[in-house]
């Protein structure tokens, strides 16, 4: 399959390469943040079930807080490949991880003590959001 890359794809790829934010392979994320000191940490939840994703997010937030990482970018995806459009009892507007992960975080009092703010990255890219952590030094 020889498909020519568009100018936009090339521009996006170059922007990613120059970015300080990196997306780590899932193999590395099984042990999040082992010997990694970054101000931003990115996790991708594609392929995770709901319970798996909740546990992984909780573990990652706790470890990032301990390592004094200030921002976590959580990629949930938009649920574009979901079969919900074929099921009349499911809404294609509600992708599972996109809505349930922020709800899980907000309902966990211990996690919320460590979080300053949660925000969507932007309206067009609603498949990810950022979690901003408090400083461990100011935590009480």
Residue 71 in domain: yes
pLDDT, tens only, 70-94: 999 999 876 555 454 454 444 444 4
Range of the domain at 106: 46-140
pLDDT recorded at residue 116: 93
Higher pLDDT, 106 or 27: 106
Residue 125 in domain: yes
Q: How far apart are CA 54 and CA 104, in angstroms?
A: 7
Residue 29 in domain: no
Structure tokens at 36: 């990694």
Q: What is the biggest distance separating any 2 CA atoms in the chain, rounded to whole angstroms?
A: 57
Residue 69 in domain: yes
CATH code of the domain in which 138 resides: 3.30.1370.110
pLDDT recorded at residue 73: 93
Higher pLDDT, 1 or 101: 101
Residue 18 in domain: no
User: Do the beta carbons of residue 45 and residue 97 sit within 8 Å?
Assistant: yes
How many domains, the chain? 1
Read out DSSP for 80-135?
Answer: TT-GGGG-TTS-TT--HHHHHHHHHHHH-HHHHTTEEEEEES-STTTTEEEEEEPP
Which of helix, strand or coil describes residue 15? helix
Q: Token match 């970018």: residue?
A: 73
pLDDT band at 115 (very low <50, low <70, confident <90, very high): very high
**pLDDT over 70 at 131, yes or no:** yes
Residue 39 in domain: no
pLDDT, tens only, 6-44: 888 888 888 877 777 666 665 555 555 454 445 889 999
Structure tokens at 15: 């922007």
Q: Token match 């100018």: residue?
A: 7
Residue 99 in domain: yes
Residue 31 in domain: no
pLDDT, tens only, 43-66: 999 888 889 999 999 999 999 999
């Amino acid at each position: 399959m020889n498909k020519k890359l568009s100018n936009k794809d090339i521009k996006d790829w170059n922007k990613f390469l120059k970015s300080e934010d990196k997306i780590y392979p899932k193999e590395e994320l099984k042990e999040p943040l082992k010997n990694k000191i970054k101000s931003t940490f990115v996790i991708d939840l594609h392929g995770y079930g709901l319970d798996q994703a909740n546990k992984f997010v909780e573990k990652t937030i706790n470890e990032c807080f301990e390592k004094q990482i200030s921002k976590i970018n959580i990629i949930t995806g938009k649920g574009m490949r979901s079969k919900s459009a074929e099921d009349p009892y499911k809404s294609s507007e509600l992708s599972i991880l996109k809505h349930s992960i922020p709800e899980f975080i907000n309902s966990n009092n211990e996690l919320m003590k460590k979080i300053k703010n949660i925000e969507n990255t932007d309206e067009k890219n609603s498949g990810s959001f950022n979690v901003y952590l408090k400083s461990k030094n100011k935590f009480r």
